Amino acid sequence: MPNHAKLNFSLDEYVNRLAKTRRAMIDKNIDCLIVVDPSNMAWLTGYDGWSFYTHQCVIVRHDHEPVWWGRGMDAPGAARTTYLDSANIQQYPDHYVQSTERHPMDHLADLLTEMKLDRGSIGVELENYYFSAAAYLSLQTHLPRATLIDATALVNWQRIIKSAQELSYMRSAARIVELMHARIYEIIEPGLAKNELAAEIFHTGIKGKDEHWGDYPAIMPILPTGLDATAAHLTWDDSKLKPGDITFFEIAGCHKRYHCPLSRTISLGPPPQKYLDAEAAVLDAMHAGLDKAKPGNTCEDIAIAFFDRLETHGFKKDSRTGYSIGLSYPPDWGERTISLRRGDRTELRENMTFHFMPALWLDDGGLEITESVVITETGYESLATVPQKLLVK
């Protein structure tokens, strides 16, 4: 038996996750599921490591323990971090890595053939950062008798309702993001270089406090100022903050790979009236949206209430205004399942978790005041407590 010291969840919880996944496989007539999303690999087996830059997967069948497959030098990491029996940790030789001659998925196809899985239906995550077109073409070529079935986000959808242990980790992440925003507000001032501010954000977020130690977030801190904040995803450079600058901070606390994202905006000195108007509009509309955040309503109910109220203030937003969150690896801390937007009629259920993200990008800057929430039996609860306003210093 492997050493289970590093598992973040009970074996029972992993067993339940596997059972849910297998039921979803049955619904899609999938005999064997190839899970490449590192978040899904971790959720199913515990596997954790920055090895997703080379091909790897977890093979899920109905009647066997899952099999981890990856690069040889990462197999010891699978032994260290998963509950899997050593017989179920399979590796490929290093000459497959970033080779111009052979693809790691050629090796996986051979393994699947050895496992007599080459004639059935094989689910693959067609839309995933870690399942390239070349990976697909390799499996297609080398498994001519198999039927490849789109299983994009099949596992992600099993993750949308959080367990007590998962929520506990997200609450740790919430404590961390509270510390991060407090530290930003404490030190921000004209003359401070953006990278020095980013350095403090990282330091606070990774150090954490007490048992709430910080893991790396799946998205790096985004902290654009002024015109740069008309764009949604610029990071930082060494420019120095000036009086009057308005900067938004889109950051997350992370604990054991579970995230609590939270954005705030800080104005150095009194903000222009336009930003005060935008603040009032966003907060009013956000609460109109959150009033709909309860079991039985749908995701689009939140979004529509938000969009409609925002329009009464003279602002318009056409991008999605939130998404499901939890366990994640770069490049996205969202779960890539539920979106808070028109058309998403997913029913809200207790212990779903969202980043409600009513960001406004204006013609001369941006305003982000967001909340990460968990759906409760009767409504919602904010995970983190940070003053819900356009902060002024």
User: Hey, which residues between 98 and 137 contact its own copies (CB under 8 A)?
Assistant: 98-101, 103, 124, 126-137
**Cβ of residue 135: shortest distance to its own copies, in angstroms?**
7
3-class state of residue 286 by DSSP: helix
216 binds its own copies (CB under 8 A): yes
d(CA 199, CA 204) in angstroms, rounded, equals: 9
**Cβ of residue 379: shortest distance to its own copies, in angstroms?**
26
Contacting its own copies within 3-22 (CB under 8 A): 6
User: Which of 67, 124 has the CB closer to its own copies?
Assistant: 124
238 binds its own copies (CB under 8 A): yes
Task: Give the one residue of 50, 168, 350, 385 binding its own copies; rule: CB under 8 A.
Answer: 50
Integer angstrom CA distances of residue 262 from 194, 219, 285, 386: 19, 12, 17, 9
**Cβ of residue 342: shortest distance to its own copies, in angstroms?**
8
97 binds its own copies (CB under 8 A): yes
Q: What does the block give as tokens for 367?
A: 């305003």
d(CA 197, CA 119) in angstroms, rounded, equals: 55
Q: Which residue has the tokens 């492997």?
A: 2
**Cβ of residue 216: shortest distance to its own copies, in angstroms?**
4
53 binds its own copies (CB under 8 A): yes
Stretch that binds its own copies, among 181-189, 202-210, 283-291, 297-305 (CB under 8 A): 202-210
**Cβ of residue 117: shortest distance to its own copies, in angstroms?**
19
d(CA 218, CA 202) in angstroms, rounded, equals: 13
User: Which of 18, 135 has the CB closer to its own copies?
Assistant: 135
**CB within 8 Å of 269: residues ≥ 6 apart:** 243, 244, 392, 393
Integer angstrom CA distances of residue 310 from 37, 141, 270, 281: 36, 51, 23, 6
192 binds its own copies (CB under 8 A): no
